[in-house]
Chain A
C-alpha cells in the first residue's frame, strides 16, 4: 500500500521518494456529503488502529463549530477510551517494529495478545472492535455497561506486568540495541521545522503534548508525565512509546476514580446545523497531532473538512532520516515512524 522508490548504492540508501495514494478514498470529499454525525464513521477508517482518537478529534471540531456542551461523564469515557486506544496503538507500533527487526513474530504476537484485551473492552463499550464510532458530537454513543468497569480494572492491574514483560524482551536486548541505537537520528530542530508531532517529536527531546499544551476533555484534571527521548533515534522512539503506555494507564486509573454519574450525551438536533464559520479541533492521537478543520455554511454537512493527519506529516522527514543508512535500517527507521496508511492517504 505504501511505495518507497529507493536509490541504493550497494546496501546504502542514497535517496528515497515516497509514492502515496494507494489507499486514497477521498475521505475529505466524502465528509462533505454526509451529515455531521455520519462523518464519525469515516474517521474510524483513517487511522484504523486508533479509531477512538480519530473520533475524538472530529467530534471536538464539531463541538467547537456548533458550540455543543459535553456532559462530564462523557468526557471521562472519552478519555478512558482514547487512552486505551493509545496503548493499543503503541502496542502495534512496538510489535511491528520488532517484526521489522526480524524477530520472528513472537513480540508481535505478544503485543497482539494484549491489544486483544483492549479490543474486547471496546466491544463491551460499543459493540465494535476496530471501527468503533463510539463518540458523537455532544457525548458518546452509550454508557459503559456494568461489567465494563471490573474488566477495565483487571486490565489496568494486569497491563503493567505485560509492559514489563515486553520490555524484558526488548529494552536491553543486545541485538535490538545494536540495531536501533543511534540509528535514524532526528534532531529537535529538524522535527519542529517539519512540524513532526507525537512520539517522534518527543523522542527528539521536545516536550510537546497536546494533552498538556491544550488540555481538552479532562486531561487537565489528571496527573501524568510527558516522556521524552534523549537523542531522537529509533531506540528513543520505541522507549517513548513504552513509557507513554505506562502514563496512559496512570490516566485511566485516575479517570476511573474521578468519573461522575450522569448523562453521557447532551441533547443535540438530529441534523446538527452549526452557524456559518470554521473550527479546528485537534487531539494528541497516538501518532501525533490529529486535527480536523471544519468549515460550515450553515447546512447539515460540512462545507469543507480538512484533516491534519500526523502520519502524513511525520513522513515528510523520511528522506532526511533514511539517507545514508543501510537497507536493513531503512525498514526499521520506517517502522519506528509508525504510520498508518489509511491516515496518510486519507
Chain B
C-alpha cells in the first residue's frame, strides 16, 4: 500500500524489511521469497492447527448435542484426539484403486485443501492485516471457492467408483448452483462497502452488514453451508446413500487431506461471514480486534454446528430447487434493493454513504426481508401441511368384523 504508513510488525513488510536488512542488496529477491514463505507458513499452520482444535470441538459439541460423551480418552477432555487421528491416518495404507487415474487421484485432495488456504489468506484478522488488502479480494474468494468443485469432480471421476461418481456429479451440480446466489450476496456487500477488498469491506462497515441487509446474510449463510456441503446440503457425501460420496476410495493421508479440507470449510465460512456481515475485527473497548474477530467467527461456527446437529438432508432435486427457485430470486431481489437504496441515499457528489444512510437501508431491508419471509413461509406452510384426515379403509375394517 503506497502512500500509507504501514507499521513494521509481524506482517509481510515487517518480515521482508527484517531479512532485507540482513542480506546484501543483490539478494533482495531471496528476502522477498523467505518473507513470503514465512507468511505462508504462518497462515497454513494457523488454519491447520485451528482445524485440529475445531475437529475436537465439533466432535465434543456434537456429543453434547446428542447426549453422548464425544472423544474423551486422549488427554484432558480428549483434547489430543486430533493427534491420535492424524497418527492413525498416517499409519494407514495409501491405496489407489485399480483403473483409477493415478495423477488426478493424487492431485484432487491437494487441490481441495489448497483452495481453503488461499481463501483464508484473504481474511482480515485484525486492523494491521496485510494480505487482505488485495484489491480484488471478494472476486478472488468467489473464484477460488469455485475450484473446490473441480477438486470434488477430480476425486469422484478419477476413483472409478460409481458411488464416488454419483457423489461428484451431485456435488458439481449443487456447488455450481450455489455459487450464483453466494456471489450475488457478496455483490451486495461489495456495493454497500464500495470496495472489493476484504480489508476495506471491514473498514467501511460502520454498521454490521448483517443488520443492513439481513436477506443477503441469510442467503450467504445458506449458500455457504451448501458450499461446504454439510447438512442439510450434505448430499455429496450422504453417508446413508453413497458410502461416503466422492472420497469413497480414498484412504491414508489423502483421505486425511479431504477430512482436513472438510473441517476447514466451516472455519473459513465463519471467518468470511464474520468479515462480510459482522464487521470483522471492529468492536468496542480495549479488547483487541483479533479477539473480536475470533469471537464473531466462533458464534457463526457454533450456529453452523447447530445446523449440522439438527437437520436432516434434502433430496438432490429439492436442493437444486432451493438454489434456483428460492435463493436465486431472493438474491436478485436483495441486490436490486441494495443497489437502488445506495443510488438514492448516497452523497451525490462524493458517493459516500454515512451511518444514517446505513440505518435507513437497514430499516428498508428488514421490512423487505420480513415481507419476503412471511410470504414464502405462508406459501410453503399451506402446501406442506395440507393432508387429508385419516379415515379407515373400507377394504378391511376391524370394527365391522368384530360386530
Contacts and interface: CB of A to CB of B under 8 A. Distances in A.
Contacts of A255: none
Contact of B398 (A181, A209, A329): A209
Interface stretch (B134-142, B216-224, B227-235, B271-279): B227-235
A236 B391 CA distance: 12
B381 to A, nearest CB: 9
A331 B315 CA distance: 11
Given A11-B316, A175-B314, A192 B396 contact: yes
Contacts of B239: 102
A176 B393 contact: no
Contacts of A229: 390
B94 interface: no
Given A174-B380, A175-B311, A102 B395 contact: no
Interface string B297-315: 0000000000011111111
Nearest to B239: A102
B312 A103 contact: yes
B380 A179 contact: no
A223 to B, nearest CB: 14
A220 to B, nearest CB: 10
Contacts of A230: 387-391
Contacts of A228: 390-393
Contacts of B241: 327-328, 330-331
A102 B390 contact: no
B395 A189 contact: yes
A177 B384 CA distance: 7
Contact of A206 (B68, B231, B240, B395): B395
30 contacts: A102-B234, A102-B235, A102-B312, A103-B310, A103-B311, A104-B308, A105-B66, A106-B309, A109-B66, A110-B66, A110-B67, A172-B385, A175-B311, A175-B312, A181-B387, A205-B392, A205-B393, A206-B392, A206-B395, A207-B392, A207-B398, A207-B399, A208-B396, A213-B398, A226-B398, A228-B392, A230-B387, A230-B389, A327-B166, A327-B241
Interface of B: 62, 65-68, 166, 231-232, 234-235, 238-241, 308-318, 380, 384-385, 387-393, 395-399, 401-402
Given A102-B232, A173-B311, 20 more contacts: A102-B312, A104-B309, A173-B312, A175-B232, A175-B311, A175-B314, A177-B385, A178-B314, A178-B315, A178-B384, A188-B396, A192-B395, A205-B392, A206-B392, A208-B398, A213-B402, A231-B388, A328-B238, A328-B313, A328-B315
